[in-house]
Amino acid sequence: MTMSARVSQSAFDGSRLRVILLLDLYEGAQEQFLDAYEYMRTKVASVPGHISDQLCQSIENPSQWLITSEWESALPFLAWVNSEEHIQIVRPMHSCVRDTRSMRYSVLRETRPERPLTPEAAQAGLQKAARVGVGITRHALTFTVKPGSESKVTEILANYEAPETRINGITRLHRTSLFMHGNRVVRAVEVEGDLLATLCHVASQPEVQAVEEAIDPHLEHDRDLSESDSARMFFTRAALPAMQHVVAGRPEPARLRRHMLYYPAVPGRGLELARFLARQDEAAADEPDGPVYASTVFQRDDIVVRLIDVTAELDLDPQAALGVRGAGKAAELERLLDRAAIGVEGSLDSERNLNRLLSHADMMPVTDRSSAVS
């Protein structure tokens, strides 16, 4: 067993966010790009939570540009970047840009020599402490298939040849876990290095292309991954942001079981539900013998899913498995959860209904593949 320092990465910590977008433009696209940026800049200026942005050009390579923006916290940025309005606003930029890379950082420390601040004011909006991690991040995508095609899609997705997982010297795909709930598919990936480079590499592999082509006729919403704009729109709309990832600070068990739980939220309550589950998992990570060793909460709109690595069967401790351990927590989940959508309409104070919810929320595993350590 290896000892793990407690890991907690959260979009809910309230610290200011710095977003960095690196772009490489096509030759001759500069004026079109500047027009597109100016349009985007006027729109984003009125978005709640946006503080400022800058456009910079390389002094060494005129085709390389940098856009930085600052936000009050990660939450308004994630709401904006995953909105349909944002998708349409940035669309004119796509034909200008050869390559992009987006990076997001919370502000830990800063220097403001022009105006001395009190210690309290200096700490306002800053990340409270440096986070601990192993350089591997979790990401998720979700999409729906046509009702009635679920068994065929499951067969396709469960029987594909795994692609090469090492992309370059610093980027590697460590694990892919795929689940279904009804006609909804959720794919979670663990990546070391650059997510975009990983997605592009995986999408270019013949075995993956064959799988994607096979499921295309079964998708509820058409896409064309061979066309860059269509692929970009699909991945943008399918993204499920990781709102919190937490790992207990105790020896890693020799064997962990992976599950993904589906929590459809009451309309308009998705973020509140994700925050509730994040608080629960934060507290559970301090339990010396809790069954949940690691958890990641993903949320977009009213879709909330929770990827958990557990030490025992879920039904041995349904409260811990669902993230409702503690007085009044089941009732709080009941207030936020669209119980009709999940098929459990009775009170969650009932042990029977809590077990029913666990059974209904536990998504069907389709495939779970880890790369060999090298």
**Same domain flag for 250 and 352:** yes
Q: Is residue 116 part of a domain?
A: no
CATH code assigned at 64: 3.30.70.100
Domain span at residue 281 reads: 242-365
DSSP three-state, residue 251: coil
Pairing between β-strand 184-192 and β-strand 136-144 as defined by DSSP bridges? antiparallel
Q: Is residue 311 part of a domain?
A: yes
pLDDT in tens, the chain (374 residues): 344 456 678 888 889 999 999 999 999 999 999 999 999 999 999 999 999 999 999 999 999 999 999 999 999 999 999 888 998 898 888 889 988 888 899 998 887 766 655 555 556 678 777 766 666 788 899 999 999 999 999 999 988 766 667 766 677 788 889 999 999 999 998 888 776 667 666 767 777 788 888 999 999 988 877 776 777 778 788 889 999 999 988 888 889 999 999 999 999 999 999 999 999 999 998 888 889 999 999 999 999 999 999 999 999 999 999 999 999 999 999 999 999 999 998 899 889 999 999 999 999 999 998 865 44
Per-residue burial over 11-40, b if 16 or more Cβ lie within 10 Å, else e, is bbbbbbbbbebebebeeebeeebeebbeeb
**Same domain flag for 222 and 252:** no
Q: Looking at 59, 85, 105, which one is the last position of a domain?
A: 105
Tally the domains of the chain: 3
Sequence-distant (6+) residues with CB within 8 A of 178 are 157, 185, 186, 187, 188, 365, 366, 367, 368
**Same domain flag for 36 and 100:** yes
CATH code assigned at 310: 3.30.70
Report pLDDT for 111.
Answer: 77
Enter the tokens of residue 100: 């992009």
**Same domain flag for 211 and 305:** no
Measured CA to CA, the distance from residue 71 to residue 81 in angstroms comes to: 12
**Same domain flag for 333 and 356:** yes
Q: Is residue 297 part of a domain?
A: yes
Report pLDDT for 108.
Answer: 87
Phi, psi of 36 (to 5 degrees): -65, -40
Q: Looking at 50, 85, 105, which one is the last position of a domain?
A: 105
DSSP 68-137: EEEESSHHHHHHHHTSHHHHHHHHHHHTTEEEEEEEEEE------TTS---HHHHHTTS-SS-----SEE
Report pLDDT for 276.
Answer: 97
**Same domain flag for 72 and 148:** no
Measured CA to CA, the distance from residue 370 to residue 361 in angstroms comes to: 24
Q: Is residue 374 part of a domain?
A: no
Q: Is residue 203 part of a domain?
A: yes
**Same domain flag for 184 and 208:** yes
Q: Give CA torsion, residues 266, 271, 276, 281, to 10 deg.
A: 120
**Same domain flag for 215 and 252:** no
**Same domain flag for 317 and 204:** no
